[in-house]
Amino acid sequence: MLLAYIISGLVIMGFMLLRFFAPARRADYLNSLAIAQSAIFLILSIASLIYIPQPSFFFSRYLMIDQLAVYGALISCGIFLLASFYARGYVRRLVELHDIEVRELRLFYAAYNLLLIVVVFAFYCNNLALFWILLELTTILSAVLIVTLNAKENIVAALKYVFTASTAMLFSIIGLIILFALTKQATGVGTLNWDVLMQQAASMSPRLFTFAFVFIFIGFAAKAGIVPFHTWLPQAHAKAPSVISVLLSAVLLNIGIFGVLRLYAVAHQTAAWHDVSLILIGFGVLTIAVAALSMLPRGNVKKLVAFSSIEHMGFLLVGIGLGTPLALFWVLFHILAHALVKTLLFFSAGILHQQYHSNQFEDMKDVFTLQPLAAWGLIVGSMAIIGVPIFPVFLSKLNILTELADYSLPVLFIILLCFLIVAAAFAVILIRTIPQTGEIKHEPYRVSVSMKLPIMFLFAGIVILGVYFPGGLHNMLVGIVNSLGF
């Protein structure tokens, strides 16, 4: 199965790299390849969900397909597919504006496709060390994607990203090694395979496990944008082209969270899980608070959204830390909801940026007349992301908070206040921006269908998901929660 992934991936890479085959509209040609790949991967993931017995292992148990992995892969492939469609119009425009040079296109799309492959395999990892490696690879690739744009700030942003993320990641190697030694001590032979860890967790010394966990957590936290290792995130998201911001926010952050989730699943088997929960919830609350407060004075739409991603990652961390089956169920749902809404927000922001060549809110005049779709995308997205009803975030928010009440009421109250601030931040921006009218009239930039369609789709998607809970999804999530041993 996984071979199928690799082969198809490589074939398409091949098509991309064929030097002699260089059609006139290279952008569209490469883009079609990207679409093709994400489509194929989506299909493959669905297929592996249906036809592959879960869990099943590959490549001497380095890789594994279980429901959690497939869930992650499905979300990522879906987002990638939408992004690829969006990219068709978006990148064409970028080329017109010389924001990106034609000669960079191959690099761009190659990195794009590689990223997809790496992401999918990161989800399919069974071995934590391998997972670590792929995680580091995603950093490299996304950094490349960020710097393909013609701007110095992008390089700065990328450097910050690379350094902050990978310095933290080094610590998680230390953690992994300790974990390895721990298993070795527990059962003669050391291993970092997740399934084995799950089985042997009980026999490890809880103190040492926590010790290891803390170190591993540092790295994953950095990738998931957890305060205080989140510092790279806002700039990277803001500077990257919106397509890439989508991937960074809706896909890459999830990988970090999935890593934490798997680790926590192991921790839950040991006696150490109370301490671990404490750590996670502590970091979660800190993250939410810092993100919420930093959102208030933001005038840059993409930065605002980026901070809200940080805040949501913190919230997910809290949810994981609670460690009750219900909480985890809703955490998984929240990941999906967050991915969809964030995609919508960044797509709209992308359109607005191409209209006004700026992410600053005060530059956006006459939004409703120029870009009604994007404007509504922004409004609906904000409403959805602050978690008001008929949008899915509300459900997961309410339920995770309900679980939190059993853990601690004061914490619950603090988080609620932070959410209030977040809501205020979004409201301030939108209400000040959306109605403002300008004297100098821009000519409306005609948004291509390939950019409109994904947005339409997302509108429908989030509304439906907000009021209708598919039974299949329900069973799947329940299955995942069980397979994680809760």
Partner 1 sequence: MINLPVLDDITKILFVLVLATAALIITIRTLTSLLNIYSIQSWVIAAVAFVLYLKNGSIVLLLLAILTIASKAFLVPFVMRRIQKSMHIKRDLEFRYLTPIGSILVGTAMIFLVYWSFSQFLPELSSETMFFPGAVIGVSLALMGMMVIFTRKQMITKILGYLTMENGVLLFSLFVAELSFIIELLIILDLVMLIVLATVLAFGIDTSIDEFHDKLNSFTLWFKE
Partner 2 sequence: MMMNLLFVCGLCVFFGLALAQIVFVTKASAVVRRFSLWAMLLASILFLAFSLNIVLHNSTFSLNLYELTNDLRFSFLVDRLAAYFMLIISLVSGVACLYSLGYIEHNGTNTGKNFLVAMMSLFIISMLLIVASDNTFSFLFFWEIMSLTSFFMVLFEREKPDTRKSALFYFVMTQMSTVFLMFGFIAIHHATGSFDIGSVTGVSPFFKGAVFLSLFIGFGIKAGIMPFHKWLPYAHSASPSNISALMSGVMIKVAIYGLVRYLVFVLTPDRWWGVMVLIFGTFSAVLGVIYALKEHDIKKLLAYHSIENIGIIVIGIGLYLIFQSYGFTDLATLALIAALFHSLNHALFKSLLFLTTGSVINATGTRNIEKMGGLIKVMPYTGILFLIGAVSIAALPPFNGFVSELMIFQAFLQSFVIGNPFLKIILFLGLSLFALTSALAAACFVKAFGLIFLAAPRSEEARKAKEVSTSMIAAPAILAIGCLLLGVFSFQLFSSQGYTLPIPNLMVIGLVLIITLALVWLFMRLVGNKNSRKSETWGCGIISQNSKMEYTASGFSEPILTIFRPIYRTRKKSERNFNDAGKSIFKDGTAEIQTFKLFEERIYIPVANFVQKLSNIISNLHDVDLDTYILYSFIAVVILILAVGWLI
List residues binding partner 1 (CB under 8 A).
Answer: 17, 19, 101-104, 106-107, 110, 127, 129-130, 132-133, 136-137, 139-140, 143-144, 147, 150-152, 155-156, 158-159, 162-163, 166-167, 170-171, 173-174, 177-178, 180-182, 184-185, 190, 192, 205, 207-208, 211
Q: CB under 5 to 8 A by kind: which of partner 2, partner 1, none does 143 bind?
A: partner 1
> DSSP label at 202?
G
Q: How far is the CB of 409 from partner 2 (least distance, A)?
A: 6
Cα distance between residue 168 and residue 199, in whole Å: 28
What tokens were used for 21? 């085959």
Which of 153, 159, 309 has its CA nearest to residue 241?
A: 153
Which of 468, 148, 212 has its CA nearest to residue 333?
A: 468
Q: How far is the CB of 52 from partner 1 (least distance, A)?
A: 24
Nearer to partner 2, 123 or 232 (CB): 232
Nearer to partner 1, 98 or 446 (CB): 98
Scanning 50-58, 147-155, 286-294, 346-354 for contacts with partner 2 by CB under 8 A, the matching segment is 286-294
Cα distance between residue 11 and residue 19, in whole Å: 14
Of the residues 432, 456, 460, 475, which one makes contact with partner 2 according to CB under 8 A: 432
Nearer to partner 1, 193 or 450 (CB): 193
> DSSP label at 442?
P
Say whether residue 232 binds partner 2 (CB under 8 A).
yes
Q: Cβ–Cβ contacts within 10 Å for residue 227, how many?
A: 23
Residues in a beta bridge with 294:
none
Which of 56, 474, 72, 42 has its CA nearest to residue 262?
A: 72
Task: Report DSSP letters for 87-126, one per residue.
Answer: HHHHHHHHHHTTSS-TTHHHHHHHHHHHHHHHHHHHHTB-
Contact in structure between 219 and 132 (CB atoms under 8 Å): yes
Say whether residue 420 binds partner 2 (CB under 8 A).
yes
What residues numbered 313-352 form the site for partner 2, per CB under 8 A?
Answer: none
What residues numbered 373-412 form the site for partner 2, per CB under 8 A?
Answer: 383, 386, 388-390, 394-395, 398-399, 401-402, 404-406, 409, 412
> DSSP label at 18?
-
Contact in structure between 105 and 113 (CB atoms under 8 Å): no
Q: How far is the CB of 482 from partner 1 (least distance, A)?
A: 30
Number of residues that bind partner 2 (CB under 8 A): 62
Say whether residue 52 binds partner 2 (CB under 8 A).
no
